[in-house]
């Protein structure tokens, strides 16, 4: 499947290859066994698991893989010839799919911020109180917090680049279409 524009081809290469490689290889290095290295005081397995589930309701790798799959769905209809760009029906469908991808990326970006924030702190304060207790906060150590912060920023950057490429592709196709209509 080859997109009809240079921007679309770069977007496919960037999105499909670089982002997937980054997530697969470097994501595993940063997050691989995070749950095993997440430790709380007191160091009890039950407390560690309870607090880790509070800290990470969904792991970043799972979230970003879901994002990749969801955002790639609108691009599956991209086997397009150059001359098809100028047909009104194609142009309408193309714009709908492109705007859908932009909306999905924006929602994913917002969810990333809500779930993970921009910075991973070295300490996480976990509430492990039983219903009858009033206050019991346990401190937990987050492994490789600085690496994870850098990884989060990189994934946010990829999301922004993807949105910019989608907008640029819409602009390129629109300009071609308007130029084509003016010459007829």
Average pLDDT score over the chain: 77
What was the pLDDT predicted at 91? Answer: 67
Token pair of 4, please? Answer: 């009809």
CATH number at residue 169: 1.20.1440.80
| Within a domain: 81 | no
Could you tell me the pTM of the whole model? 0.71
| Within a domain: 83 | no
Stretch 94-106: mean pLDDT = 81
Residue 39 sits at φ, ψ, to 5 deg, of -130, 140
What was the pLDDT predicted at 1? Answer: 47
Domain that includes residue 54, residue range: 6-75+88-183
Q: How confident is the model at residue 121 (pLDDT cuts 50, 70, 90)?
A: very high
Number of structural domains, the chain?
1
| Within a domain: 117 | yes
Q: What percent of the chain has pLDDT over 70?
A: 77
Token pair of 44, please? Answer: 């009890």
Distance CA 169, CA 152 (A): 26
Highest-confidence range of 55-64, 88-97, 132-141, by mean pLDDT?
Answer: 55-64
Q: What percent of the chain has pLDDT over 90?
A: 5
* pLDDT (tens digit per residue) in 10-20: 777 777 677 77
| Within a domain: 122 | yes
| Within a domain: 169 | yes
Q: How confident is the model at residue 90 (pLDDT cuts 50, 70, 90)?
A: low
What was the pLDDT predicted at 181? Answer: 52
Question: Which residue carries 């070295």 as its tokens?
Answer: 122
Spell 10-31 as b/e; 16+ CB within 10 A means b.
ebbeebeeebeeebeeebeebb
| Within a domain: 41 | yes
Which of 87-91, 116-120, 145-149 is predicted with the least confidence, judged by mean pLDDT?
Answer: 87-91
Higher pLDDT, 140 or 32: 140
What was the pLDDT predicted at 12? Answer: 72
| Within a domain: 1 | no
| Within a domain: 111 | yes
Q: How confident is the model at residue 80 (pLDDT cuts 50, 70, 90)?
A: low
Highest-confidence range of 64-68, 70-74, 89-93, 156-160, by mean pLDDT?
Answer: 156-160
């Amino acid at each position: 499947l080859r997109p009809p524009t240079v921007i679309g081809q770069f977007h496919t290469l960037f999105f499909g290859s670089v982002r997937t490689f980054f997530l697969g290889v470097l994501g595993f290095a940063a997050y691989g066994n995070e749950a095993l290295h997440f430790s709380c005081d007191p160091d009890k397995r039950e407390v560690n698991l309870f607090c880790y589930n509070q800290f990470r309701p969904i792991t970043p790798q799972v979230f970003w893989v879901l994002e990749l799959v969801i955002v790639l769905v609108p691009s599956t209809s991209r086997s397009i010839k150059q001359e098809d760009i100028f047909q009104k029906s194609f142009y309408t469908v193309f714009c709908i799919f492109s705007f859908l991808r932009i909306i999905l990326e924006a929602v994913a970006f917002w969810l990333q911020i809500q779930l993970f924030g921009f910075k991973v702190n070295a300490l996480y304060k976990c509430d492990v109180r039983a219903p009858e207790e009033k206050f019991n906060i346990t401190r937990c150590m987050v492994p490789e917090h600085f690496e994870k912060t850098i990884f989060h920023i990189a994934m946010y950057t990829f999301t922004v680049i993807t949105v910019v490429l989608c907008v640029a592709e819409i602009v390129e196709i629109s300009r071609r279409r308007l130029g084509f209509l003016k010459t007829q």
